[in-house]
Structures are given as C-alpha cells and as structure tokens.
Structure 1
Amino acid sequence: MSILYQLPIFLLVFVRLTCFFVTAPLWMERQIPAPFKWGTAFFISLLVVGLVEPEQVVQMDTSYLFLVLKEVLVGLCLGFFVNILLYAVQLAGSFIDLQSGFAMATMFNPQTGIQENLTGRFFYIVAMLFFLSIDGHHVLIKGVLASYDWIPIDSWLPSSVSENLVHLSLLIVKDMFWIAILIASPIVATIFLVDIALGILAKTVPQMNLFVVGIPIKMAVHFIVLFVFIPVFFIVMEKLVQIMIHSFEQMLKILGA
C-alpha cells in the first residue's frame, strides 16, 4: 500500500493511542516525560497501522476532522474511566486519615499538584506496584489495541453513546466508592471502637486528658491495623482489577458501532 493511503490511518491510530496514554493509569503521572508518552504511542502505532483494515478508503477531507475528534473521545474515555477506579484507594486513605487524626498531615504530591493524605498516598503507591506486578500495563495495552476491532477507525459512534456513557460513569463511580469503603472499613471500624473505649475511659477517669492520651493511641492502632490489613488489601486490589477490566469491556461495547 502507498504511504499516502496509510498516512490518514496512521494519524487516526496515533491520536487514539496518544489520548489513551495521557489519561491511562501509570502513564498519566507527571513524572513520566511527555516525549515518552507520545513516543510510545508513535512506535505502537507503527506496529498497529498495518493490522488496521478500514472498510472504506480514509481520505483527508472535511469528514476526516470529525474522525479525529472521535478518536480523541475514544482514547480519553478508555483511559479516564479505567483510571478513575484507582482513585478508590486514595479515597479509602482519606476516610482512614479522617478517622485516625492524620487528616491534617497532608503532603504535596508533585504528580498531581495537590495535597494528599498520607495513607491515601501510601495505598496508591502499593496499588501501582501491585498493578505492575500482575502486568496490568500490558493488559491495558492489549485492551486499547483490541478497541480497533470493536471501534473501527472509519466508523462513527452509535447514537446512544451519550446515554450509555452517563450510565456507565455512574456505575464506575458507585464501584469506586464501594471499593473505597471496602478498603477503609476494617481500619475505620477499629479506630471507631478505640474512640468508644476512650469515651468510656473519659467518663470513668475524668482527670485523664484525652487530647494527650487519645491521639497517640489512635495513631498506634492505625499503624498496627494497617500492617495487619495489608494482605487483605491485595485481595481487594484483585477485585479492583477485575472491575477495571469489566468496565473496559463495557466501554468498548458502548463505543463500538
């Protein structure tokens, strides 16, 4: 095939992959250089463009601009809706820090440019390590490459895509809060029992200063339960990855023509 025939196809493939790597987990981090993101998309596009076979000849006319916008939407949706599930671990850390007294001890995260809770940041780092250990990044690359079978580059999005996307986004947000509560519930429940015990102790011994005794006790319980909870955290992460893959498949079905 001539280069002029392959060039429009290559540009469409490159746009989808670039938008995906900008919003997908791991690649979206600020410490990942931008040339690495679009460079990865460029070289993968070179490998994929020969496998993409549009039903009709793609020409650079007026409709080509709308195809580019469609590829931008597909790439951003595939990356963002998968990435939003990983925010569940940071949300769980916020719930825990709010109960244990670490909510005021935030740290600046240069990756996101905002202040984050300590436990939430710890959970996110462990989640990323777990994600890499199971080759989750390879699963995402295989998924975005499979999207060309579900969503051809020369086809348009179905008319019901907006309604289905809203419904799927609500389900993903619901799963995010459900997983966050599932992660945070053991530690939050334990610290709540400590609060009840301290309240009973304050009534029994009024001379005790709870601000001096209670905060160190809650901090110690926080770290002890967190250490015990780590194996359970990996079990929850397996469930999170399963939901992530299922959401990715649902996204392909919604965006597929």
Structure 2
Amino acid sequence: MLGLGLAIEPQIWALVFVMVRIGAAFVAAPVFGAVSLPLTVRVSLSGAIGILVLSTHSIVPPPNVFAVGTFVSVAAEALVGLAMGFILQTAFAAPLIASEMIGGTMGIGFASSIDPQNGRSSPALGQFMSVMLTLLFLSVDGHLVLVDMLVKSYEALPPGAAWLGADRLRAIAFFGGYAFLAGLLLALPVGFLLLCLNLVVGMMSRAAPALNLFSVGMPASLAVGVIALAVAFPAMGDYMLVIIRESLGALQTIILG
C-alpha cells in the first residue's frame, strides 16, 4: 500500500520514480527533446535507462505516493533532469545567435522556416548550423555522454538529496552567458568581413552621394557572405566541437562537482 488505498508493485513504482529525472532531461536536452521524436520513443528510452539505473544503483523510492515528501522528491528529480538538459540546450543556442548576426548583415534574415528541433520558426542559416552541430554532437558520442551522466548522477545526487546547491545553480546561470559568447565567436569570421564591407560601402556613399548603393551593397553583402561562409565553415566546425566539449564539461561539473 502506497497511500490512499493505492497498491502498486514496488519495482514499478521505483522505475517510475527513476524515470522522472531521465524523462525531464530528455525533454530539455537537444536531439532527445526534438518535437519530431515520438513520445513513445522518449518514454521507452527513459524506461530502458531507468532499468539500467535500478540494476546498478540501490534506489529507494518514497514509501507513499500521495505525500508531501514524495512531491518534493519528484520536484527535485525533475529539477536535476531539467538542469542537465538545459545546459546542453544552452550550448545549442549558439548557432542560432550566430545565424542572427550573420543573416541580418547579409540580408537573408527574412529567410526562415519551421525548425524540426523545437517546432518554431527560425532562420534557415541557423537551421543549417544547428543540423551541423547536431551531427557533430552525435559523431563525438555526446548523446552517450548524456546517458552516462544521467546514470552517474544517481550516485552523485541520490534521490532524496538531489536538490542542486546555490553554487551549482549559479554555475548554470553563468553558463547561460556562454551561449552568447559562443555565438559571437562562431559568427566572428564572417561577421568581420561583412563589417569591413559595410565600412567600404559607407565610405563610398560619403564619397559619391549620387551613387545608388542599394543596387550594389545588397548583392555584394550576399556574395561576400556566401563566400565567407564557404571559406570559414571548416574553422566554424572546429569551434562547434569546442562548444560541444565545453557543454559536456559543464554538465560533468554541475553533476559530479
């Protein structure tokens, strides 16, 4: 009996309790939290990892389902899972920030479509860069590192004592600023060339006011932007790997200390 006349198998209740943290992480994390991923797949993965956690850790769920302590424990589990997914999701916002900077300067900021990751409209250039970051994330086994951190989190933050301290919450907040820094550095090679082009166009407009620069500046910005993207994309890919390593390192620091 688990309270209010409710009877449930202890093993099933333990599995459901463990799945709270894992499911919350999958909801907030990239790749796993994509709207295109069916809910049944997400629940099945949470259950499979939950069985792995129960086989490697001694998890004691709250004795009563309908109790204040149970609700507090479930909230703590959800907080830990959401924090883990939020760290990775913050890193995945860097390409969108970079695309806003580059696309606005190139004049293609109006080109947008529905992002399959979150179901919202986003710049086409940002979707391209997000797809590349996702492929790099999968190529370096970032999804497996996330699963490994989820399993290890039950040892570092066992259920019942899973509240994140003020120092860890502060680290999560500070890591949110890394998304803007990473987006700026990601857009820096192309953005610098476009800035130089705008300076040249501005000098031409002052030197020859009668010259119609709108018919020259827009095609020039688009051409320079496309060429700069083609040339700088290998270096941008290398920095995307740095973003992934930083996010996984921050995840490890938050969970394991």
TM-score above 0.5, yes or no: yes
The reply to whether residue 149 of structure 1 matches residue 155 of structure 2 is yes
Query: Who is 2:249 aligned against?
Result: 246
* CA apart distance, 1:205: 4.1
* CA apart distance, 1:193: 0.7
CA distance in 2, matches of 1:21, 1:70: 16
Contact 1:100 1:219 in 2 (8 A): yes
Kindly provide the amino acid, as one letter, of the partner of residue 91 in structure 2. Answer: L
CA distance in 1, matches of 2:57, 2:15: 9
CA distance in 2, matches of 1:156, 1:111: 29
CA distance in 2, matches of 1:84, 1:229: 23
Residue 40 (structure 2) aligned to one of 35, 38, 50: 35
CA distance in 2, matches of 1:110, 1:234: 21
Query: Who is 2:25 aligned against?
Result: 20
Query: Who is 1:191 aligned against?
Result: 194
| 5+ residue gaps, structure 1 | none
* CA apart distance, 1:166: 4.1
CA distance in 2, matches of 1:27, 1:179: 22
Kindly provide the amino acid, as one letter, of the partner of residue 141 in structure 2. Answer: D
| 5+ residue gaps, structure 2 | 1-7
* CA apart distance, 1:9: 2.5
CA distance in 2, matches of 1:123, 1:68: 36
The reply to whether residue 86 of structure 1 matches residue 86 of structure 2 is no
The reply to whether residue 227 of structure 1 matches residue 233 of structure 2 is no
* CA apart distance, 1:110: 4.7
CA distance in 1, matches of 2:11, 2:159: 12
Contact 2:30 2:117 in 1 (8 A): no
SS at match of 2:93: helix
Kindly provide the amino acid, as one letter, of the partner of residue 189 in structure 1. Answer: F
Contact 1:90 1:121 in 2 (8 A): yes
- List aligned pairs for 1:1-257, cutoff 5 A: 4-54=9-59, 58-60=62-64, 62=67, 63-157=69-163, 161=165, 163-253=166-256
**Over the residues paired in the alignment, what is the CA RMSD in angstroms?**
2.0
Q: Deviations over 1:1-60 (max 9, x none)?
A: xx9443333222111111111111101111111111011111221222121214x67422
Residues 89 and 57 (structure 1 numbering): CA distance in 2 closer, same or farther, change over 3 Å?
A: closer
Kindly provide the amino acid, as one letter, of the partner of residue 241 in structure 1. Answer: I
CA distance in 2, matches of 1:39, 1:78: 19
Q: Between 67-76 and 200-209, report the one with greater CA deviation.
A: 200-209
Residues 173 and 65 (structure 1 numbering): CA distance in 2 closer, same or farther, change over 3 Å?
A: closer
CA distance in 2, matches of 1:186, 1:156: 42
Q: Deviations over 1:222-256 (max 9, x none)?
A: 010001111111221121112112211222146xx
* CA apart distance, 1:94: 0.5
* CA apart distance, 1:112: 2.4
CA distance in 2, matches of 1:26, 1:168: 23
* CA apart distance, 1:104: 2.3
